[in-house]
Chain A
Amino acid sequence: MIEVKDLHFAYPTGLEALKGINLTVDDGEFLAVMGQNGAGKTTLVKHFNGLLKPTAGEVLVDGVSTRDVSVAKLSRNVGFVFQNPDHQLFSETVEEEIGFALKNFGFEEAVIKKQVDWALNLLDITQYRKTSPFMLSGGERKRVALASILAWDPQVIILDEPTIGQDHQQKEKLQQFILQLNAQKKTVVVVTHDVEFVAECNPRVILMSQGKILAEGMAEKVLTNPKLVAQASIVPPQITQVFLELADLGLPTDVIDVHEATKILLGRLRERQ
């Protein structure tokens, strides 16, 4: 469990990025952190594995303050996949990249090999095993970065903008994959702007703006509130936009899913026949 208590954070330049955040992320929860560029989303989640330490307030991971534990130790439980994979990748081959942390955690060779094979297969990058990560496309590099975190099987997985640079099919795969991780009781925290992606997964959402939490709740509640989302520089999902336009016809406005939308419309159209 991650508990954030009145968290304040200021960068050395004086920029106050977080201004009193209170939040609990339960084990096995799927949370999406959304909001405008510069709202403090990445700054917030970087506190979850101790990459950043609070200026004031505290962050507790499984009851222990992140101030009292090293990043290396926290990382064992909390894996962080960066937005830009180039900030994370450095090895000569994909295989070494994925095995690196496992080696550092002191796992045996046989375990490392097994975990690396598993992660390569999971992210569909086995064919790049011996390739340099820097020869790969942006989308592929992102999957290598994700594989290298999943390889050591942390309880909490933080993904910063995982859908950027992924094509439609990869995005669908990623979505299934995240839902699967979550179904296995992993805690998944996703920082994202991708409204349609969130609409399809329907996780709990926190909306951030200027270092504060504006709102929280399930995606279908938060993303369908036009006033709130506008404050966070978000646009409601396209299906919601359509239903908001038709609100005067008595249609519900909290619809984010295309299947649910179809059902509601069919019902209405049949009623009239």
Chain B
Amino acid sequence: MLANKTLAIIETTDLTYTYPGATKPSVKEVSVTINKGDFVILTGPSGCGKTTLCRCFNGLIPHFYNGNLEGKIEVAGLSVADHKIHELARHVGLVFQNPENQLFALSVEKDVAFGLENFAMPRDEMRKRVDWALQMAGITELSERPPHELSGGQQQRVAIASVLAMQPDIMILDEPTSFLDPVGAQKIFEVINELNKKLGITLILVEHRLDLAAKYANNVIVMDEGRVVLNGTPREIFTSEEARLIGVGIPKATKLYQHLKQNGVYLKTAPVTTEETANLLREALKHD
């Protein structure tokens, strides 16, 4: 029990939340544990409560949105109900779907430095942090540019750098690549995967397009109508009948496996990624 406690970085027990004026809760009796260093995909149909749950993780709920919060939630050892948004912001960073909503400064580096300025950080330390964050996001050469003149992919990397500069324990990204071309999206996934694997930052990725992110994640949480309905490894989730019924977007590679199975061809295991699928097929084609 104690060992689990040190691993868990987010823990909710029977978390239920209702927005002010709403008749029904948007998050219902959610009990989840996210461990330090996890790469979690949070998915489910529009309006299932994903974004609301993320707002609980960084304290926007209940401190900004008010409403009615029941149950327990602890993030990085802090009870969310008892700690202000700015305290939680040291631990949890949020990257929005549309970077336009997040960027506002006249230059990229000013945007990235903004959060640190609010922490009253010494100038030298701030300089170092900003340079490091720009480098990690691969946008050092853009530091003097006005963010609004950049492409969508570049803007999203600025948004990630801004959050990264705070060196949070947890980063939540809400469909961070939906405005990007596939190569730009891949680069973002590689950047955040590195943050996860090298720096040990816990990652929560809200995403509909599971094919792109599946290979990086160790856990998939599926929500439907405010509840967590499935929670498991990508392989478990993609092959579950429930996921299909809820309308989770199963990667084409896994679909191919299922189609073959329906026609009496059983590959050794259900693949989640392109490489796995190709390897399994190669084996089947050689041995048959």
Docked complex Cα distance between A239 and B282 (Å): 14
Pair A258/B259 contact, Cβ less than 8 Å: yes
B252 CB contacts on chain A under 8 angstroms? 196, 237-239, 258
B185 CB contacts on chain A under 8 angstroms? 193
Interface string of B266-288 (1 = CB under 8 A from A): 00000000110110011011001
Docked complex Cα distance between A139 and B47 (Å): 9
Among B98, B153, B208, B282, contact of A168 (Cβ-Cβ < 8 Å): B208
Among A140, A161, A195, contact of B46 (Cβ-Cβ < 8 Å): A140
Of all chain A residues, the one with the shortest Cβ separation from B281 is: A246
Pair A196/B181 contact, Cβ less than 8 Å: no
Pair B253/A242 contact, Cβ less than 8 Å: yes
Among B179, B182, B274, contact of A195 (Cβ-Cβ < 8 Å): B182
B249 CB contacts on chain A under 8 angstroms? 167-168, 171
**A-B pairs with beta carbons under 8 A, tally:** 120
Task: Give chain A's interface residue range (CB within 8 Å of chain B).
Answer: 35 or more
**Is B180 interfacial (CB-CB < 8 Å)?**
yes
**Is B8 interfacial (CB-CB < 8 Å)?**
no
Pair B285/A269 contact, Cβ less than 8 Å: yes
Among B180, B253, B275, B281, contact of A37 (Cβ-Cβ < 8 Å): B180
B59 CB contacts on chain A under 8 angstroms? none
Task: Give chain B's interface residue range (CB within 8 Å of chain A).
Answer: 35 or more
Pair A269/B288 contact, Cβ less than 8 Å: yes
Of all chain A residues, the one with the shortest Cβ separation from B247 is: A169
**Is A179 interfacial (CB-CB < 8 Å)?**
no
Pair B183/A36 contact, Cβ less than 8 Å: yes
Interface string of A34-47 (1 = CB under 8 A from B): 01111000000000
Pair B281/A262 contact, Cβ less than 8 Å: no
**Is B106 interfacial (CB-CB < 8 Å)?**
no
A239 to chain B, nearest CB (A): 5
A132 to chain B, nearest CB (A): 14
A242 CB contacts on chain B under 8 angstroms? 253, 256, 274, 277-278, 281
B interface residue numbers (CB < 8 A to A) = 44-47, 97-98, 100, 151-154, 175, 178-186, 208-209, 211, 247-249, 251-253, 255-256, 259-260, 263, 265, 274-275, 277-278, 281-282, 284-285, 288
Give 30 CB contacts A-B under 8 Å.
A37-B151, A37-B154, A37-B179, A37-B181, A84-B100, A164-B179, A165-B46, A165-B175, A167-B45, A167-B249, A168-B45, A168-B248, A193-B185, A233-B184, A234-B181, A234-B183, A237-B252, A238-B251, A239-B253, A239-B256, A241-B274, A241-B278, A242-B253, A242-B274, A245-B274, A246-B282, A258-B252, A261-B256, A262-B260, A266-B265
